[in-house]
Amino acid sequence: NETINFVLSSPVNATLTSPSAATITIVDDDSPATVGFAQSNYSVAEDSGIATVSIALDTASGRPITLNYATSNGTATAGDDYTTTSGTVTFAAGELTKNIVIPVRNDTMDEADETVNLTLSNVDGAATGASTTAVLTILDDDEAPIVRFHRPTYEISEGAGVVNVEVELSNASGFPVLVDYVTTPGTATTPADYIATPSSGKLSFAAGETMKTIAIVLVDDGLLEPTETMKLLLSNPSNANLDFFNETTVEILDNDAAPSVTVQFSASQYSRPETANSTAMEVRLSQAAASTVTVNYTIVGNTATMGTDFLAASSGTLTFSPGQTSKNVTLTILDDPWEEGNETLTVTLSNPTGGATLGSPSSAVMTIIDNDSFRVSLPIIMRK
């Protein structure tokens, strides 16, 4: 209500009597203003930093109006998604709108849009309607995370027993993430070198999880062998994307010491008739080697003569590929018409490579057995 005061003073040809003052009261017949949120729903991108929310009167008021406001969790979490905010708003006479600011936190998690509840209370000087509550929706702006192997290559000794291959998300997700994986042999094979049970499957990341492991059991086989490999592949992600790290290689390092490999003739003495033509003298490795082995040889005639009694290169090199254990030194025996007795030649090994050493016998004698008889010719004398 409002008032007008009247006062009488300074009468002429009269005197003042009581009452010399009067008041007129203008009785307000208007309903009080109604205060509330300007909208029932607000939205803001999470990378905006702040959300601005308006509180409004439906009509101007001639008196000050005060009220309290506060935020509370909907699906959003204070401290993670926004900053808890509360306070008091005062409308001066004639003001229609006030704004409050709510800090919003930007994260890197792919998640659903989240909500903050807004509430007005303790209104003084105005009426309240249905709009004393509102909802602020924080709009997610993050892409789905990348699902990938933690490393492009794993190096592990076969004696380690197991290798844990890690699969990671680039960022935590607010959604469950699924991805398929499969193991494939390379130079390593299963079950000889590794065991993956199962050989394929599906990884499931719960919301907030960022790391999973795939266990590959390694077989310590006791065999000397080169480094062997197998691969793992990722495919068919759900709520995530793949990048170029969707494949990883496991390099299984051999832990076996190289065995002692010797190279030698299979016998120290060989013999062949001179009618044998082509013949061979076997050179053997004590066991198969994992790498190439070579050995040189030389042929020297003792009583046998090169070009007359046999044909062969005077020297050469034998090469054993990985896994091979036998090679031959070959020569051709010549059959001559002369009775000359048995004759010999010697083949000697030298300079082995590939980790091999000379064994025994490292030289061998070939005896060429003569096949000719001694003949005597007598002259024939004719008498008359």
Residue 294 is encoded by which pair of tokens?
């070579």
Which strand ranges, in their side-by-side order, compose the sheet holding 356-358? 310-311, 326-333, 278-285, 261-265, 356-358
Predicted model pTM: 0.60
Phi, psi at 196, each rounded to 5°:
-120, 110
Per-residue confidence (pLDDT) for residue 282, from 0 to 100: 96
Sole residue written with tokens 């051709």: 332
- Residue closest to 151 by CA, chosen among 237, 210, 241, 232: 232
Q: Print the domain residue range for 340.
A: 261-369
Give dist(CA 169, CA 211) in Å, integer. 7
The burial class, CB within 10 Å (0-12 / 13-18 / 19+), for 294 is middle
Q: Are strands 261-265 and 356-358 parallel, antiparallel or unpaired?
A: parallel
Residue 21: inside a domain: no
- Residue closest to 102 by CA, chosen among 171, 55, 59: 55
Same domain, 282 and 362: yes
Residue 384: inside a domain: no
Phi, psi at 320, each rounded to 5°:
-105, 115
CATH code for position 106: 2.60.40.2030
Give dist(CA 144, CA 165) in Å, integer. 22
End-to-end CA distance of the chain: 191
- Residue closest to 346 by CA, chosen among 322, 362, 326: 362
Same domain, 190 and 109: no
Radius of gyration over every alpha carbon of the chain, rounded to an integer in angstroms: 52
Residue 100: inside a domain: yes
Same domain, 278 and 335: yes
As beta bridge partners, residue 22 has 6
Q: Are 70 and 79 in contact (CB under 8 A)?
A: no
DSSP for 303-322, please give it: SS-BTTTEE--SEEEEEE-T
Same domain, 153 and 210: yes
Domain's final residue, options 139, 171, 206: 139
Residue 150: inside a domain: yes
Sole residue written with tokens 């999470």: 46
Same domain, 266 and 347: yes
Q: Are 25 and 118 in contact (CB under 8 A)?
A: no
Residue 336: inside a domain: yes
Same domain, 189 and 232: yes
Same domain, 302 and 221: no
Q: Are 65 and 35 in contact (CB under 8 A)?
A: yes
Same domain, 300 and 245: no
Give dist(CA 165, CA 156) in Å, integer. 11
One digit per residue, pLDDT tens: the chain, 384 residues?
578 887 878 888 788 888 878 788 766 655 688 999 999 999 999 999 999 999 999 998 888 999 999 999 999 999 999 999 999 999 999 999 999 999 999 998 999 999 999 999 999 999 997 799 999 999 999 999 999 999 999 999 999 999 999 999 999 999 999 999 999 999 999 999 999 989 999 999 999 999 999 999 999 988 878 899 999 999 999 999 999 899 999 999 999 877 789 999 999 999 999 888 889 999 999 998 878 999 999 999 999 989 888 999 999 999 999 989 999 999 999 987 777 789 999 999 999 999 899 999 999 999 999 886 555 555 666 665
Same domain, 215 and 249: yes
Domain's final residue, options 253, 271, 302: 253
Per-residue confidence (pLDDT) for residue 350, from 0 to 100: 97
Burial string for 192-206 (b: 16+ CB within 10 Å, else e) reads ebbebeeeeeebebe
Same domain, 345 and 274: yes
Same domain, 242 and 270: no
Give dist(CA 16, CA 115) in Å, integer. 71
Per-residue confidence (pLDDT) for residue 130, from 0 to 100: 76
Residue 377: inside a domain: no
Domain's final residue, options 139, 162, 197: 139
Residue 29: inside a domain: no
Domain count, the chain: 3
